[in-house]
Structure 1
């Protein structure tokens, strides 16, 4: 790798690392406050609301955000050409997706107060989906500091404002409203800073332009769709099949696992735009970058597995308390998924950056369906532990399938 590329990657990784550490610690604190105040059932309800909205966000992008980032990373002159059509399509998709959420939520077997919170979360999600385009623009320009500041600001709000609200009211509803206010602030910051990379903001509502975009972006949408199913199914199915308590037990364990995911997130977010550019400019340097990233994530993933397995009980007791001790075996099972999660993040970005998105779409589709099937049968028989086993098997299967795909 060239010296300038190394310095740029280190700088970008430094911004994201700082933001991820602070954000994860604060997010951790928010979940701890919530779980210790409202118990497993409250944590389960909170998890269902946001995982449900995320799962139903399937029509919010159709792959155009990722496509825009890759193309602009390769040639920044394409920004002015692509952005107007992408923004117009994103606005329409956000509105349609919100209507889908409202329509389905009305028939959920959940209390009315939860349905109202879900609809509010869906309304805020429209802004999040649109702001994602501006994050893609910043990443395409290999600039991460603004996203780091936006994330950190939102987490500070969630911890201090959200924490004060949950401590004062001891109720989920005002806490969710406080979090949504913080999300709104974050999206405004993202849009404001993203606009700094644009010469002139234009929005086009032209179906013929959208049609051409979707011909090229649909593989990324399918990957995003399957990934949503892959990562959101367990929590939603647990809530519907086994109730809020079981969901809270699983979420406590998964929250500790999520803390470790800042490692691959940093590596991938900083390396992906460079991988897309190097695929056109210098394939030998790309191989070196990928190899070093793969080796680093493998070592860190195995270390994470050992640490989580050994200290599972201690971690649950310190963070969540004795009420969450049933989360310990769930956490120990999920620990085996960490190396696979680390590598899948890198492998996905590598295949997308190097024009292998169709192959990766098929792999992600298969593993998503596998995950849903495993979750259904294992949750019915084993509850939260079954969901954890489904996660490990699905993650491992994806690593193997991508490995064989790259070899052929």
Structure 2
């Protein structure tokens, strides 16, 4: 691995690592305040609103953003050519997806005030979905500091202003409205800073070009859809099948697990563009990068699983209080998923960066279906613990499949002329 690449990766990882640590501290501080002021039911309602909108955001991208990032990472001159059509496509998709959210929310068996909040969150999400393209531009140019600043700014607002609103008003509605203001500011910052990497921002509406892009991007969309199912369907199914209390219990445990997930998230954001570029320029260096990253995430994943299992009860009581004590058992189950999630993030990023996205898509699709079936079977009998078991099994199957491909087929070819 060249010295310049090492320095660039370390610098980018440093920015995102710092941002993740700060923003996660604030984010989990907010969850703690929310859980202690509104209890398991309030946490369950909050989780349902945002996970529901996230799950319904399946048509907001269609893989266009990921495809755009990979192509620009390989050849930065493509940014000017692709961006106008990608932006036009994203705007149309965001609007159509919002209409889907409204149509499916109105008949939902939830209180009217929750339906209104869901629609408002969906309206703000349109700006978020468009702003993601500008994050992709920055990542494709291997620059992460602006995204780090935008995240920290939003989380700072949410923690201090949103936390104060929760503490004094004890109102989920007021809290969500404060969050939406912070989200909007974050997206505007992303658009502003991402625009620096292109000469002119244009938007084109050419359906024939969109179809051409979609033919190349749809595997990324399907992978994003399947990934969304992993991370969001359990919360939504719990809420609809067992109510807000069980959702809150599960969310508390999963919130603690999410603390560790900033590691693969940072790794993905810093290495994926480099993997895509090295795949065409220097595969020997790519092989070294992948091996070192593999050793790192596996070691950290195992250590994380052991730590969470041992400290589960103490962690739940200290962070959420005695009312959430049932979350400790759920957390012990979920601790087993950490090594799988770490490995899946790395190996999935490698496959996407090197043109093997269709293989990853098939694996992700089958396990996503399994995840839904397992949740449907296990939640009625084991509630939040059932959702946790379904998550562990699904992620474990993905890891086994990807590791099998890694050893048999996905070795990096380093012979001349490839």
Please give the TM-score of this superposition, normalised by the length of structure 1: 0.99
Counterpart position of 1:62? 62
Q: Distance in 2 between matches of 1:95 and 1:268?
A: 29
Deviation at 1:405, TM superposition (A): 2.6
Q: Give runs of aligned pairs for residues 112-151 of structure 1, distance below 5 A.
A: 112-151=112-151
Q: Provide Cα deviations, 1:107-160, integer angstroms capped at 9, x if missing partner.
A: 100000000000000000000000000000000000000000000000000100
Report what 2:326 is aligned to.
Answer: 326
Counterparts of 1:229-240 in structure 2, within 5 Å, are 229-240=229-240
Partner of 1:353: 353
Aligned residue for 2:393, secondary structure, equals: helix
Residue by residue over 1:153-176, the C-alpha shift from the partner in whole angstroms, topping out at 9 and shown as x without a partner, is 000001001001111210100000
The residue that corresponds to 1:184 in the other structure is 184
Is residue 84 of structure 1 aligned with residue 84 of structure 2? Answer: yes
Corresponding residue for residue 152 of structure 1? 152
Mapping for residues 8-407 of structure 1, pairs under 5 Å: 8-406=8-406, 407=408
Per-residue CA deviations over 1:283-329 (Å, capped at 9, x if unaligned) read 11101101100100000000000100000011001000000000000
Q: Is the 8 A contact 1:235 1:251 kept in 2?
A: yes
Question: In the TM superposition, what is the alpha-carbon distance from 1:231 to its structure 2 partner?
Answer: 1.1
Task: Provide the C-alpha distance between the structure 1 equivalents of 2:314 and 2:125, rounded to a whole number of angstroms.
Answer: 36
CA distance in 1, matches of 2:403, 2:81: 35
Q: Helix, strand or coil for the counterpart of 1:108?
A: coil
> 1-side partners of 2:221 and 2:333: how far apart?
30
Quote how far apart the aligned CAs of 1:230 are: 1.6
User: Which runs of at least 4 in structure 1 moved beyond 2 Å after TM superposition?
Assistant: none
Tell me how large the CA RMSD over aligned residues is.
0.5
- Distance in structure 2 (CA, Å) of the matches to 1:375 and 1:284: 42
Q: Deviations over 1:233-252 (max 9, x none)?
A: 00000000000000000000
Q: Deviations over 1:181-232 (max 9, x none)?
A: 1110100000000011111111110001101100110110111111111211
Q: Unpaired segments of 5 or more residues in structure 2? A: 410-418
CA distance in 1, matches of 2:130, 2:338: 31
Structure 1: state its 5+ residue gaps.
Answer: none
Question: 3-state SS of the aligned residue for 1:261?
Answer: helix
Counterpart Cα distance in 1 of 2:163 and 2:403: 44
Match of 2:413 in 1: none
Aligned mates of 1:216, 1:72 — CA distance in 2: 14
Q: Is the 8 A contact 1:359 1:405 kept in 2?
A: no
| Aligned-partner SS, 1:36 | helix
Query: In 2, are the aligned partners of 1:257 and 1:334 still within 8 Å (CA)?
Result: yes
| Number of aligned residues | 408
- Supply the distance in 2 between the matched residues of 1:113 and 1:382 (Cα, whole angstroms): 30
Contact residue 12 and residue 145 of structure 1 kept, 8 A: yes
